[in-house]
Chains A and B, each alone.
Chain A
């Protein structure tokens, strides 16, 4: 637990240093941290809400047409088999 905490402190310090946050005044820190959090939140939100749909469209777009048709035929075969029973 202590180690985790130390790791977190260390990581936050590195973040402070590379973004120059340790030089800023408190209100500026809040502004910049808030800004980064907002960006992060937006990325996470969009990756949950929009990404799956995008990925599906993208896959359909990239994949060769034959694959799509093959999967289609497979599905049709399965359907037919189901129907025949």
Chain B
């Protein structure tokens, strides 16, 4: 751990360096290179080279963590608490977790002790769907003073940004020799990214140099000019990965999936350099489509090489100008782009509000198309997502299906995040709610997340898929999926279905469901505000203030936890958040370590906003 900071006078950089040198705690250095040098140093400390290297590594570490990109906000603790913590470290193995120690094979699933009372990821059905939804969804209003402070802080940043823009204009900001042309940059966008986002730019787009499994390796970088430019220090940090959509842990450099993909690359090459309609169609692709259809229990499926394009390019082929689209307000950008391209009339309803959905549908049916003098729409389509990636909430599918039937609309369900992650068989939201997948007209999803691969699919009736095969731009013009990528999907899908003859897939699904519940309950116990459904593996933790996003991401990085922050352009101004994505590859020890750190820093950074009563009993894994 090394960061037990009892002495308030010592600055963080110094304490970090000294703890590393003395080997307090478990004395692990954050990266493999320095780790190796440390052990060498202990074995044979007469070698001068090693000593020099050690010193160099320490300097690098100091430089890394003292540079603005990593300036940590030191954690405060009372002496008593620290002593208790130190005692705990000696006794409990769980708190002694360190990423560098845990060098197991990526994506390995640990044998689960089957407990009879363990709930799979499935709807209980004891209450009505509406009541169960409200019982299982955690939501809390923002405290008023936090809302005010968030806005004030934001205004301050904007004002300072404008002052900065007056004083320091980088060369790239002004376009030269382009008189008479339309400007290249959107004024507000470039202002925002230069003078507001730039201050915490180091928390995003961080380069990694390993498989993003349960752990990943961050490539360290520092900035000397407050985010204008970055340079690599040459060191790496091994971090616990709480930011990847690797729900079932199939993203791994070793194991069955990786081996079979490698074999496929050797036998079939890397790409066909042609579209499905021309030379890029192979038996393997056909097999994948059949497998996908079987996986979801529908008639047919079509696959594409890019998940974003599956939405953005297929929606225009399904919808036209005389169509009404009823879209959830939190839908993903790819859906919004597709809808705009299609030219259909878009009506937005409040996030997951069935009342509002019904209102919009009823108005659509009653008033018809106003551009055509109130003639009926040729098609009404409801577009929802399975798990909303920013909110962590789950669509209320049974109620949506009831409304769809009542108003004779079509239903397009984007399962990008939910496929694999939800349901006792990992078949998505329909499986979770025990709904017949044929009741959903169009099932869409990606292979990028749970399957650890790339691409997207559309599944539904044979008629629909045949229509798409002739009309979809993504099918006719885009290159077909690369063979090793297809192999990864096929292998992981078969593993989930249990067709490989092992229990691996089932164990992974169970482990994910268990991790999710445990993590969410522990977070609620800590007292932070989280959004979303208790079975959804996307866990947004609300931090509200813009400055806290940066502070939390940086502090967690120094504690070897990699998370994703989301701020203003992606969320409303007031709802800055940290998004944890759980995976079946995480073990209880890893989650315990993460939760302990979160508990500690949330005291310090003031993240415990929740006013709900907390569960005093320890949470059972």
Chain A: residues with CB nearer than 8 A to chain B? 2-3, 5-6, 9-10, 13-14, 16-25, 28, 31-32
Closest to B156 in A: A20
What residues of chain A lie closer than 8 Å to B199, measured between beta carbons? 23-24
Contact of B545 among A2, A17, A24, A28 (CB under 8 A): A17
A-B contact pairs, 20 of them (CB 8 A): A5-B8, A6-B8, A17-B73, A17-B605, A17-B606, A18-B153, A19-B153, A19-B156, A19-B547, A20-B153, A20-B157, A21-B547, A22-B547, A22-B550, A22-B551, A23-B157, A23-B547, A28-B164, A31-B160, A32-B160
B545 shortest CB reach to chain A, Å: 6
- B76 contacts partner chain A, Cβ-Cβ < 8 Å: yes
Docked Cα-Cα span, A6 to B226, in Å, equals: 28
In the complex the two chains form, is A28's CB within 8 Å of B160's CB? yes
Bound-state Cα–Cα, A24 to B71, Å: 12
Are A17 and B547 in contact, with the CB atoms below 8 A?
yes
Q: In the complex, what residues of B have CB within 8 A of residue A16's CB?
A: 73, 547
- Chain B residues with Cβ under 8 A from A3's Cβ? 78
Top 4 A-B pairs, shortest CB-CB distance: A20-B153, A20-B547, A23-B199, A18-B149
Judging by beta carbons under 8 Å apart, are A24 and B160 in contact? yes
Q: Chain B residue with minimal CB distance to A3? A: B78
Interface of chain B residues 1 through 52 with chain A (CB within 8 A): 8-9
Which of A2, A18, A24 has the most B CB atoms < 10 Å from its CB? Answer: A18
Does B70 touch A at the CB level, under 8 Å?
A: no
Q: How far apart sit A9 and B88, CA to CA, in the bound complex (Å)?
A: 26
A-contact 0/1 string along B196-209, CB 8 Å cutoff: 00011000000000
Q: Which one of B226, B604, B605, B606 lies within 8 Å of A25 (CB-CB)?
A: B226
Chain B nearest CB from A70 CB (Å) reads 44
A27–B226 Cα gap in the complex (Å)?
12
- B196-254 contacts to A, CB under 8 A, are 199-200, 226
Contact across chains for A23 and B550 when beta carbons are under 8 A apart: yes
A18 lies within 8 A of B8 (CB) = no
- List, in ascending order, chain A residues with CB within 8 A of B200's CB: 23
A6 — which chain B residues lie within 8 A by C-beta?
8, 76, 78
Residues of B within 8 A of A28 (CB): 160, 164
Q: Let me know if B473 is at the binding interface, CB within 8 A.
A: no
Q: How many interface residues does B have (CB within 8 Å)?
A: 26
B residues with a Cβ closer than 8 A to A are: 8-9, 73-74, 76, 78, 149, 152-154, 156-157, 160, 164, 199-200, 226, 545-548, 550-551, 604-606
Q: Are the C-beta atoms of B606 and A14 separated by less than 8 Å?
A: yes
Bound form: Cα–Cα A3–B79 in Å: 9
Chain A residues within 8 Å of B551, by CB: 17, 22
Asked if A13 and B73 sit within 8 Å, CB to CB, the answer is yes
Considering the complex, give the chain A residue whose CB is closest to the CB of B7: A2
Contacts of A25 in B (CB 8 A): 226
Count chain B CB atoms within 10 A of each CB in A5, A17, A22 and give the residue with the most: A17
Bound Cα distance from A53 to B199, whole angstroms: 46
Q: How far is the CA of A32 from the CA of B155 in the complex (A)?
A: 13
Residue of A nearest to B546 (CB): A20
Q: How far is the CA of A28 from the CA of B198 in the complex (A)?
A: 14
**In the complex, what's the smallest C-beta–C-beta distance from A66 to chain B, in angstroms?**
42
Query: How far apart sit A24 and B226, CA to CA, in the bound complex (Å)?
Result: 9
Question: Given the complex of chains A and B, what is the CA–CA distance between A26 and B111 in angstroms?
Answer: 52
Q: How far is the CA of A19 from the CA of B152 in the complex (A)?
A: 8
Q: Are A18 and B160 in contact (CB under 8 A)?
A: no
Task: Give bound CA distance, A16 to B546, whole Å.
Answer: 12
- Chain A residues lying within 8 Å of B157, measured Cβ to Cβ, are 20, 23
CA distance in complex: A22, B9 (Å): 19
CB distance from B170 to the nearest CB of A (A): 15
How far, in angstroms, from A80 to B621 measured CA to CA in the complex? Answer: 86
CA–CA, A2 and B77, complex, Å: 12
Q: How far is the CA of A17 from the CA of B603 in the complex (A)?
A: 13
Give the CA-CA distance A5 to B546 in the complex, in Å: 27
Q: Is the CB of B73 within 8 A of A22?
A: yes
With the chains together, A24 CA to B152 CA distance in Å? 15
- A5-B8, A17-B606, A25-B226 are known contacts. Are A10 and B76 too (CB-CB below 8 A)? yes
Nearest-Cβ distance from residue A77 to partner chain B, whole angstroms: 52
Residue numbers in A under 8 Å from B78 (CB-CB): 3, 6
Task: Please give the distance in Å from A6's CB to the nearest CB on chain B.
Answer: 5
* Identity of the chain A residue whose Cβ is nearest the Cβ of B607 in the assembled complex: A17
- Docked CA distance A31–B163 (Å): 11
* CA–CA, A9 and B75, complex, Å: 10
Q: Are B156 and A32 in contact (CB under 8 A)?
A: yes
**Which residue of chain B lies nearest to A23 when distances are taken between CB atoms in the complex?**
B199
- The distance from the CB of B83 to the nearest CB of chain A, in whole angstroms, is 14
Task: Tell me which residues across on chain A come within 8 A of B153, comparing CB atoms.
Answer: 18-20
Q: Which residue of B lies closest to A5 (CB)?
A: B8
Residues of B within 8 A of A18 (CB): 149, 153, 545, 547
Q: A27: shortest Cβ distance to chain B, in Å?
A: 10
Q: How many Å lie between the Cα of A71 and that of B551 in the bound state?
A: 60
Residues of the A chain whose Cβ atoms lie less than 8 Å from the Cβ of B160: 24, 28, 31-32
- Rounded to whole Å, the gap between the CB of A16 and the closest CB of chain B is 8
Contacts of A20 in B (CB 8 A): 153-154, 156-157, 545-547
Q: Give the nearest-CB partner of B153 in chain A.
A: A20
Residues of B within 8 A of A32 (CB): 156, 160
A10 to B149, CA, bound (A): 18
- Asked whether B8 lies within 8 Å of A9 as measured between CB atoms, the reply is yes
- B-chain residues with CB within 8 Å of residue A14 when the two chains form the complex: 606
Chain A, residue nearest B550 (CB): A23
Residues of B within 8 A of A13 (CB): 73, 76, 604-605
Q: What is the bound-complex CA distance between A5 and B405, given in angstroms? A: 65
Question: Assuming A6-B8, A24-B199, what are 6 further A-B pairs, CB within 8 angstroms?
Answer: A13-B73, A18-B547, A20-B546, A21-B547, A22-B551, A23-B546
A10 to B551 CA separation, bound complex (whole angstroms): 14
Chain B neighbourhood of A19, CB < 8 A: 152-153, 156, 547
- How far in angstroms is the closest Cβ of chain A from B201? 11
